[in-house]
Amino acid sequence: MRSGPAVLLAVVSVVTVGVLPVFLVGGLAVQLRSELGLSVSMIGLAGSAFFAVSALFARPLASVTERVGPMVALRVAAIGSAACLVGLAVAPSVAWLIAAMCLAGAPNALSQPAANEMLMARVPAGRRAFAFAVKQSAVPASTLLAGLAVPAIALTIGWRWAFVFAAALGLVAALSVPRLPWRRPAPQARQASVSAGALLVALAAVTGMGAAAVNAMGTFVTI
């Protein structure tokens, strides 16, 4: 079992880039409303579409991760996010922007199970709590980057360049994923457990409520 800063850095980088589209749209809302005529309701629709697609594709893309391995999945997710960010950078209309946000939800959905699989496979059991805590810091890190993009990029050289630089970060994130051997685990018999199922539902509910509060603030903070 191998662990190290390279694995953790790659995971955080890919997950951060995966959620950058929704927070950049929220952070750049003033500029988007001025140039594209993006209304408040359309900003909400764009954010909702992103997370709806992420939720819809999370389970099937988790199965894909199990087949191809977390290394490939993380790289594909980062490149996919970069491509969607380029699409947002050249958006000529609100419809284009919302379509790009829908597409961006898919690589975000892929990055989450891939990141979890990578940490479970490469981080020793005694360090996983710390590793997952660092991985979860990717969401506030993405919000921070989106906020910094406004004065540093959007107000100096234009909002479209903020998406371009974010896409470049996506390519860097893809390159940061270390080349590690992967062998698909042998299928194991599933054992029914009422307590485990209830715990999973409770964890999903608590995580969902916490994410809703944080993501809503990051999406609508500039409105």
Banded model confidence at residue 140, pLDDT cuts 50, 70, 90: confident
DSSP secondary structure code for residue 153 in this structure: I
pLDDT of residue 216: 59
Residue 36 CB contacts under 8 Å (≥ 6 apart), including other chains = 91, 93, 94, 97
Among left, alpha and beta (phi > 0; psi -120 to 50; other), residue 37 is left
pLDDT of residue 186: 59
Q: What is the pLDDT of residues 83-111, one digit of tens each?
A: 999 999 999 999 999 999 999 999 999 99
- The CA dihedral of 181, 15, 13, 162, to the nearest 10 degrees, is 140
Q: Which of 41-45, 88-92, 219-223 is the least confident region?
A: 219-223
Q: How far apart are CA 37 and CA 163, in angstroms?
A: 18
Residue 1 has pLDDT above 50, yes or no: no
Residue 19 has pLDDT above 70, yes or no: yes
pLDDT of residue 217: 56
**More confident site: 206 or 222:** 206
Residue 208 has pLDDT above 80, yes or no: no
Tell me the whole-structure pTM to 2 decimals: 0.85
Residue 81 has pLDDT above 50, yes or no: yes
Beta-carbon count within 10 A of 111 CB: 31
| Domains of the chain with bracketed CATH | 5-180+193-220 (1.20.1250.20)
